[in-house]
Amino acid sequence: MALRLLSKTYWRGTQIRFRRPVEGVIGEPVAIDAQDGARLHGNWWVSARMPKPRVAVIAAHPRVDFSEHHTFPDLLDAGYGCLGANLRSLNNDADCLHEKLLIDIAAYMDWLKQRGVEKIVLLGNSGGGSLFAFYQSQAKTGPGERLAFLPDGRPSFLDRTEMMAGDGIVFMAAHAGQGRIMNEVIDPSVIDEGDPLRTDSALDMYDPANGFLEPPAWSRYQPEFVARYRAAQIARVRRIDDMARALIADVVKAGKRRESDEFSSLRPDAQRDIRRREAFEPMMLVYRTMANLHYADNSLDPSPRGYGSLLSPRTDLMNFQRLGFARVVTPQGWLSTWSGLSSNADIAKTGPGVTEPAVVINAGRDLDVYPNTHSRLIFDTIRSVDKQYWNFEDALHYFEAAEGEEGNPTLDALMAKLVPWLEERFPL
């Protein structure tokens, strides 16, 4: 059986849009400025019969357009206001700084309050889950106790940002952080970041000598290999962290030299070199980030998922393609978003700050978010007294229809349960 390189359902699944007609709805474009001046654009949706709702649901993601999120039609039919809050890194997370995205969310929260909304529920779908958990943890911390600096050392300005916390949170097929994803998918067999084809075969999950079988046959990796592999993944992330910090340090060093008393006495060519080094904005290429053992071995964190990843059923080949996680990033973006060692948007760090009513929704057939590695970890880490765990065994990551399937049965089943959950806790 031949397998495609790029998943057939990838583009359909990631088209976040209304999946059925919804009548009697008013849509309004939202254009606001975050407190640091970043311009933001989203969509505000209300039911014509309830144009000024007391309760709103806000959906956001670090880079995906959630302005027409597929949960909104049922929420609007129930009378809830829906805000699709696009952030400054929309469609491009090469320089995504999660700390800055919190400032964006704060601006949208303030906009909702100014519209008369009394209760706000945070809808954290996919990467939105760890983003909103990070937001809640900081919003509920006093300004003087918030994270003062980005992982790259620059001021975060969170201490100067007015942040109101949400009143409830929904983790929908949410992972525990983009950095945690990277820790799982990065290929530890890469020997040289400058020569990405050089491979340590002893750490290559796609080498038959380590247990790999030709797709779509499931592989079985031995516990000793799994332990070595995971440790080597963390070691590679740490090496890339060191590279990122070294690149940043070179720019900072040049800036200090330009500001020093000796600068004016240097030759013109030396001054020019220092100015260029200070102005330099380095980029990093992170190759081979489609190497999660879970892709090929379904005995690791078992679930009814299919073979491969959200992007591809041939991850052994997609691992060498341009499309992949964190392929092109700035050093700052790597540290803030993609490093599982340095990112602050990590549920282990932020989950204890979530105490509001919460529901964690696991999509059983998800190809990149797994029940124990992510969904159960989120559920066990958050400190909400009122929390529930829902498993939709047949659901894909975006609750999209499976190939050849009519309608959206898993999304319909989810909304039939989610709307009553909201109505019980946040009546209109």
Strands 387-392, 358-363: pairing is parallel
Amino acid at 141: T
Q: 282-321 pLDDT, tens per residue?
A: 999 999 999 999 999 999 999 999 999 999 999 999 999 9
- In angstroms, the CA 359 to CA 391 distance is 11
Ranges of the chain whose pLDDT falls below 70: 1-15
- In angstroms, the CA 44 to CA 58 distance is 9
**Pick from 215, 189, 382: which is nearest to 288 by CA?**
189
Instruction: Report pLDDT for 228.
Output: 98
As beta bridge partners, residue 125 has 172
Cβ neighbors of 321 (< 8 A, separation 6 or more) are 5, 290
Instruction: Report pLDDT for 6.
Output: 64
Instruction: Report pLDDT for 60.
Output: 98
The structural domains of the chain, with segments of one domain joined by +, span 10-178+344-425, 181-329
- In angstroms, the CA 312 to CA 315 distance is 6
In which region does residue 377 sit, left (phi positive, over 0), alpha (psi from -120 to 50) or beta (all else)? alpha
Q: 6-32 pLDDT, tens per residue?
A: 666 555 545 688 999 889 999 999 999
Write the DSSP symbol of residue 46. E
Cβ neighbors of 206 (< 8 A, separation 6 or more) are 212, 291, 296, 316, 319
The model's pTM:
0.95
Instruction: Report pLDDT for 1.
Output: 42
Distance in Å from the first CA to the final CA of the chain:
52
Given a contact cutoff of 8 angstroms between Cβ atoms, the answer to whether 132 and 371 are in contact is: no
CATH second-level architecture of 10-178+344-425?
3-Layer(aba) Sandwich (3.40)
